[in-house]
Structure 1
Amino acid sequence: MQLFPFLSFLLACWSAHLSPHQSSVVETVDGPLQVGEMGKTLIHEHLLVDFIGAKEYHPDRWNRSEVIHRVLPFLKEVKALGIHTMVECTPAFLGRDPVLLRELSAASGVQLITNTGLYGAVDNKYLPAYAFTESADELAARWITEWKEGIDGTGIKPGFIKIGVNPGPLSAIHEKLVRAAVKTHEASGLLIVSHTGPATPAFEQLAILSEAGIPAKAFVWVHAQVEKDKSMHVAAAERGAWVSFDGVAPGNLKEYLALVQNMKKHDVLERTLLSHDAGWYRPGEENGGDFRGFTTLSEQFIPLLLANGFTESECELLLVKNPATAFGR
Structure 2
Amino acid sequence: MSEIQTVRGPVDTAELGVTLMHEHVFVLSPEIQANFPEEWGSESERVEDAVAKLQRAYDAGVRTIVDPTVIGLGRYIPRIQEIAARVPIQLIVATGVYTYEDVPHYFHYRGPALNDAVGAEVPEPMVDMFLSDIREGIAGTGVKAGMLKCAIDAPGATPGVERIMRAIAAAHHQTGTPITVHTHPDTKAGLEVKRILCDEEGVDPRRIVLGHSGDTTDVDHLAELADLGFVLGMDRFGINLDTTFEARADTLIAMVERGYTDQMVLSQDASCYIDWVDPEVMAFLPQWHYTHLFEDVFPYVLERGVTQEQIDTMLNDVPRRFLEGR
- Give the TM-score taking structure 1 as reference length: 0.83
CA gap of 1:306–1:282, structure 2 versus 1, over 3 A, is closer
Q: Once the 2 structures are TM-superposed, how far is the Cα of residue 265 of structure 1 from its aligned partner? A: 2.5
Aligned residue for 1:127?
104
From 311, 315, 324, the equivalent of 2:320 is: 324
Question: What is the SS of the residue equivalent to 2:10?
Answer: strand
Q: Once the 2 structures are TM-superposed, how far is the Cα of residue 64 of structure 1 from its aligned partner? A: 4.6
CA gap of 1:277–1:286, structure 2 versus 1, over 3 A, is closer
Partner letter of residue 222 of structure 2? H
From 261, 268, 272, the equivalent of 2:260 is: 268
CA distances 1:242-282 after superposition (whole Å, capped 9, x unpaired): 11121112853321222112212322211111111112514
Cα contact 1:64–1:100 (8 A) shared by 2: no
CA distances 1:25-57 after superposition (whole Å, capped 9, x unpaired): 22111111111111111111121111366xx67
Q: Once the 2 structures are TM-superposed, how far is the Cα of residue 131 of structure 1 from its aligned partner? A: 5.7
CA gap of 1:59–1:308, structure 2 versus 1, over 3 A, is farther
From 149, 152, 163, the equivalent of 1:165 is: 152
Cα contact 2:95–2:134 (8 A) shared by 1: yes
From 219, 229, 236, the equivalent of 2:218 is: 229
- Greater Cα offset, 289-298 or 82-91: 289-298
Cα contact 1:196–1:224 (8 A) shared by 2: yes
Q: Once the 2 structures are TM-superposed, how far is the Cα of residue 203 of structure 1 from its aligned partner? A: 0.9
Alpha-carbon separation, structure 2, partners of 1:275 and 1:38 = 15
Aligned residue for 2:15?
37
Count of residue correspondences: 303
CA gap of 1:132–1:194, structure 2 versus 1, over 3 A, is farther
Aligned residue for 2:299?
303
Aligned residue for 1:205?
193
Alpha-carbon separation, structure 2, partners of 1:286 and 1:298 = 26
Partner letter of residue 260 of structure 2? V
Aligned residue for 2:115?
none
Aligned residue for 2:78?
99
CA gap of 1:134–1:95, structure 2 versus 1, over 3 A, is same
Cα contact 2:226–2:232 (8 A) shared by 1: yes
- Give the TM-score taking structure 2 as reference length: 0.84
CA distances 1:194-242 after superposition (whole Å, capped 9, x unpaired): 1111253211111222323221012111111233422111111111111
Question: What is the SS of the residue equivalent to 1:44?
Answer: coil
Aligned residue for 1:177?
164
Question: What is the SS of the residue equivalent to 1:107?
Answer: coil
Alpha-carbon separation, structure 1, partners of 2:191 and 2:98 = 18
Structure 1 segment 1-329 matched on structure 2, within 5 A: 24-51=2-29, 64-121=43-100, 123-124=101-102, 127-130=104-107, 133-135=110-112, 137-198=124-185, 199-208=187-196, 209-249=198-238, 252-282=244-274, 292-329=288-325
- Greater Cα offset, 74-83 or 197-206: 197-206
- Greater Cα offset, 153-162 or 90-99: 90-99
Alpha-carbon separation, structure 2, partners of 1:283 and 1:162 = 20
Alpha-carbon separation, structure 2, partners of 1:305 and 1:284 = 31
Alpha-carbon separation, structure 2, partners of 1:221 and 1:212 = 16
* Aligned-CA RMSD value: 2.8
CA gap of 1:285–1:66, structure 2 versus 1, over 3 A, is farther
CA gap of 1:311–1:139, structure 2 versus 1, over 3 A, is same
Alpha-carbon separation, structure 2, partners of 1:322 and 1:128 = 37
Cα contact 2:50–2:272 (8 A) shared by 1: no
- Greater Cα offset, 315-324 or 273-282: 273-282
Question: What is the SS of the residue equivalent to 2:311?
Answer: helix
Cα contact 2:215–2:236 (8 A) shared by 1: no
Partner letter of residue 151 of structure 1? I
Alpha-carbon separation, structure 2, partners of 1:310 and 1:155 = 41
Cα contact 1:250–1:296 (8 A) shared by 2: no
- Greater Cα offset, 220-229 or 71-80: 220-229
* 5+ long unaligned stretches in structure 2: 113-122
Partner letter of residue 129 of structure 1? Y
Question: What is the SS of the residue equivalent to 1:27?
Answer: strand
Q: Once the 2 structures are TM-superposed, how far is the Cα of residue 60 of structure 1 from its aligned partner? A: 10
Alpha-carbon separation, structure 2, partners of 1:218 and 1:59 = 39
Percent identical residues: 25
Partner letter of residue 180 of structure 1? A
